[in-house]
């Protein structure tokens, strides 16, 4: 990625994949086949263990379909204390090794949710103490430094619904307290909208901290119901709060124009949360979404 393009890719999440192994999910071979048939060239690894973890085999499967890896994904809970490092690092190391071996350049890091993403049950408080914030900052600075020095990978922090970092002020607090050399944003346009944050304001006010994108939209009518009824993310997802572009918010055409104006190469990965979903649903949506996003900018491409 050397040209100043917005490169559109996709992820297992857009095929309803949340877990390494689940009978409700599209089999990985079908996922790769359909991604290629849909016209994408770049994908994320998804949950570690969903795609083959042997680098030689995965590389061959990707080569057969003319696909490349942009990023891996890891999960952290550094706000729970500095001892969380050991819990986070071992799975992160495995993801980092595979991502680097596949030529990927990024690790998308998702913070632990305070409500379970499947059941919606509260597992801890929804607010953080000052110490918990400090531990979160320290953990992510350390993680970003280690990923960069050991694997040449960039940490891209993904704010998330029902986590402690979702709203605009949460994101701004994180950016102010972390080292831009070691942490930047995976700006997820859907989760930002869900939590009341503005993707356009974040791009405008923190242009140097936008390191990666997840492109998705929220159904405003369902989001209104979510807010009125204080629905959990799990319930909101089942209610269809994520919607196919260009039917929702934010305006992805405006987002893409703002990102192109940054004048540097960046990935925009389509990541429409659809777990669980019938196997025949994702590919037509993926094709339409690809075509729509490519129509939104003059320097937006699949490779």
- For residues 269-295, average pLDDT: 96
- For residues 2-27, average pLDDT: 95
pLDDT in tens, 233-268: 999 988 999 999 999 999 999 999 999 999 999 999
Asked if 38 and 298 count as a contact pair (C-beta separation under 8 A), the reply is: no
- For residues 11-19, average pLDDT: 96
Asked if 178 and 209 count as a contact pair (C-beta separation under 8 A), the reply is: no
pLDDT computed for residue 273 by the predictor:
86
Per-residue DSSP letter, 180: T
Please state, rounded to an integer, the average pLDDT across all residues of the chain.
97
pLDDT computed for residue 275 by the predictor:
86
Asked if 148 and 156 count as a contact pair (C-beta separation under 8 A), the reply is: no
Q: Is the pLDDT of residue 299 over 70?
A: yes
pLDDT computed for residue 3 by the predictor:
87
Asked if 125 and 81 count as a contact pair (C-beta separation under 8 A), the reply is: no
pLDDT in tens, 88-142: 999 999 999 999 999 999 999 999 999 988 889 999 999 999 999 999 999 999 9
Both tokens of 24, joined, read 């409700």
pLDDT in tens, 46-80: 999 999 999 999 999 999 999 999 999 999 999 99
pLDDT computed for residue 1 by the predictor:
64
Asked if 231 and 224 count as a contact pair (C-beta separation under 8 A), the reply is: no
């Amino acid at each position: 990625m050397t040209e100043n393009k917005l490169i559109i890719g996709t992820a297992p999440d857009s095929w309803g994949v949340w877990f390494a192994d689940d009978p409700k999910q599209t089999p990985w071979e079908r996922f790769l086949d359909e991604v290629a048939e849909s016209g994408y060239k770049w994908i994320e690894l998804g949950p570690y263990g969903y795609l083959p973890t042997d680098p030689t085999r995965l590389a061959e499967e990707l080569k057969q379909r003319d696909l490349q890896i942009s990023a891996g994904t890891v999960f952290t809970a550094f706000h729970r204390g500095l001892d969380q490092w050991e819990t986070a690092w071992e799975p992160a190391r495995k993801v980092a090794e595979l991502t680097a071996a596949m030529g990927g350049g990024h690790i998308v890091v998702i913070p632990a949710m305070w409500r379970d993403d499947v059941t919606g049950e509260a597992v801890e408080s929804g607010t953080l103490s000052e110490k918990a914030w400090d531990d979160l900052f320290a953990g992510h600075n350390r993680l970003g430094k280690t990923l960069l020095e050991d694997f040449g990978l960039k940490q891209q922090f993904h704010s998330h619904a029902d986590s402690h970092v979702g709203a605009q002020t949460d994101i701004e607090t994180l950016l102010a307290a972390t080292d831009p050399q070691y942490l930047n944003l995976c700006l997820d346009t859907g989760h930002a909208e869900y939590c009341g944050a503005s993707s356009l304001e974040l791009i405008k006010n923190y242009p140097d901290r936008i390191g990666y994108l997840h492109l998705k939209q929220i159904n405003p009518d369902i989001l209104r119901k979510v807010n009125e009824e204080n629905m959990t993310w799990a319930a909101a997802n089942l209610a269809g709060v994520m919607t196919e572009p260009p039917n929702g918010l934010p305006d992805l055409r405006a987002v893409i124009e703002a990102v192109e104006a940054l004048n540097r190469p960046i990935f925009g990965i389509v990541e429409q949360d659809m777990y669980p979903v019938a196997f025949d649903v994702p590919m037509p949506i993926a094709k339409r979404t690809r075509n729509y996003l490519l129509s939104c900018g003059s320097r937006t491409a699949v490779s």
